[in-house]
Amino acid sequence: MAASEPKGEDQRSHTSERLSSSASENGDPPLCKSKLDPESQIPQGAINSDSESGDVGRQIELEAGNSIKYRTCSWQKTAALLFSEYICLAMMSFPWSYSILGLVPGLILTVFVAGVVLYTSLIIWRFCLRHPDVRDVCDIGQYLFWDSKIAWYFTAIMFLLNNTFIQALHCLVGAEWFNTVTGHGTCTIIFALVTAIISLVCSLPRTFSTLSQIATFSAFFTFISVLLAMIFAGIEGKPARYNDKDGPPVFLAFPAPGTTFVQGLNAFLNISYTFIGQITLPSFIAEMKEPRDFWKSVTAVTIAEIILFSLVGSIVYVYTGNQYMTTPAFGSLGNEIYKKVSFSFMVPTLIFLGVLYASVSARFIFFRIFDGTRHKGNHTVIGWATWTGILAVLWILAFVIAEVIPFFPDLLSIMSSLFDSFFGFIFWGVAYIRMRRADHGPDFYRKRGIRGWVGLIVNVFLIGVGFFFLGPGTYASVMAVILNYRAGTVGGPFSCADNGL
């Protein structure tokens, strides 16, 4: 048995050297060793790659002798990861969005955005089936834009910044929970630091298969949390800060007169940002043993999103009304016990979602450092020390970013407008067009008849939506910062001030 291990290692090293050599000859960037031309004609078999044939099967075979195996996620485990990513604290901001947009437009936009994100997720899935060597969205960025090294590095920068800012958000949200349940028991900086340390420890598992077990636990408690919030909002009678002057809660079917463009757009963007999470999907698909089953995972989570987001948004809004709305909506619960209990069930998600994005970023860096070496797929001191070190750096950066920027939540909205425009829409409209050109030529929309024209129009529309997020979306986010400064609601860096609900 001991004699067979070096043989397997030599075989893996030989294969890695062969792939690396081939990549170098083709002029790939050193950190992205695989190459596939999206314009080439792709056999139908490549679209149906699974664990028994094609590149996915070969990847699984290469991992067979490793002590750490990455392509091990079933569609159920991937669904658990998606549930933990999408079914999160952000859904408790839907009541606020509905209070700005009105119930009818709010519900319509919820279903519309969910449908668009499901459609683009399926485009990502199809693209990854064609390119089973894709490991993350950075590889896709290179493939989409003519194998450009600049595109790869540009995507990588946005990818890491996006993930690190989401980690930073969860440092602040963790501190928000601590302040809420302890009545601001100590300096908020300490609570944010404790959250970062806990998250670092929880980030240590190196495979998504292992993380999916924590994700299932997280998603279950999130469901309990929002269920309790809806029940408590209905039975408590009066929301927080209720007063006779403002009267009973008032809810509207349509926007209130005087609602500004910036307010309405920010409410719409809030709904969109909650749904947009396609940046992680290629990383999840890259660790599935049957990538062709991914559609089951993403469809299941989309259906759950529509049901939960609509119910939470509308029920809590109706019982809270425009006058007493807060975000997240836990702050609208007048009974302190109700608020603390329902918010506390959200704790696993507050931790795990930051953990998930940290893990995605860490494996992006780790795989580039140790690709083709025994440290990637085996328990080695160097491998584990590097993995832990990468995570530590990411969480330190996240903590510092969260504390040093006094208008961090608004800055996060600006970053979301900039990044989600590409990762939520533009990339995937381009991906559809590139795949159809590869299959049917430059005039694919003519050859495919009505399907071709509809597909082209829909995906050009998606690209247009992306530029809308990039332009007016960024404008609305910047204006929110300016208005908050004028209102004097922006604090200072490294503040101990209470941020509890």
Q: Which pLDDT does position 113 carry in this prediction?
A: 93
The H-or-E segment that residue 262 falls in is helix 261-275
Residue 437, C-beta contacts closer than 8 angstroms, at least 6 positions apart: 38, 39, 444
Task: Give 14: exposed, middle or buried? Use CB within 10 Å, 0-12, 13-18, 19+.
Answer: exposed
C-alpha to C-alpha distance for 358 and 399, rounded to whole angstroms: 12
Strand partners of residue 288:
73
**pLDDT given for residue 48 in this prediction:** 40
Each residue of 104-116: b (16+ CB within 10 Å) or e? ebbbebbeebbeb
Which numeric CATH code is attached to 79-487?
1.20.1740.10
- The predicted pLDDT at position 54 comes to 61
Contacts 24+ apart (CB under 8 A), 439-443: 439/41, 439/42
Supply the pLDDT for residue 42. 36
Is there a contact between 357 and 167 (Cβ–Cβ < 8 Å)? yes
Spatial contact of 417 and 470, defined as CB atoms under 8 Å apart: yes
The pLDDT, as a whole number, for residue 148 is 84
With b for 16 or more beta-carbon neighbours within 10 A and e for fewer, the 429-454 pattern comes to: bbbbbbbbebeeeeebbeebeeebee
Q: How many CB atoms lie within 10 A of CB 18?
A: 11
Q: Which pLDDT belongs to residue 41? A: 36
Taking each helix axis from N to C end, the angle separating 94-101 and 294-320, rounded to the nearest 10 degrees, works out to 60
Determine the pLDDT at residue 262: 82
Query: Which parts of the chain sit beneath pLDDT 50?
Result: 1-53
- pLDDT at res. 204: 93
Unique residue bearing structure tokens 């939470």: 312
Contact 402, 408 (CB under 8 A): yes
Q: What is the pLDDT of residue 26?
A: 38
Q: How many CB atoms lie within 10 A of CB 79?
A: 25
The residue assigned the tokens 């490549």 is 46
State residue 43's pLDDT score: 36
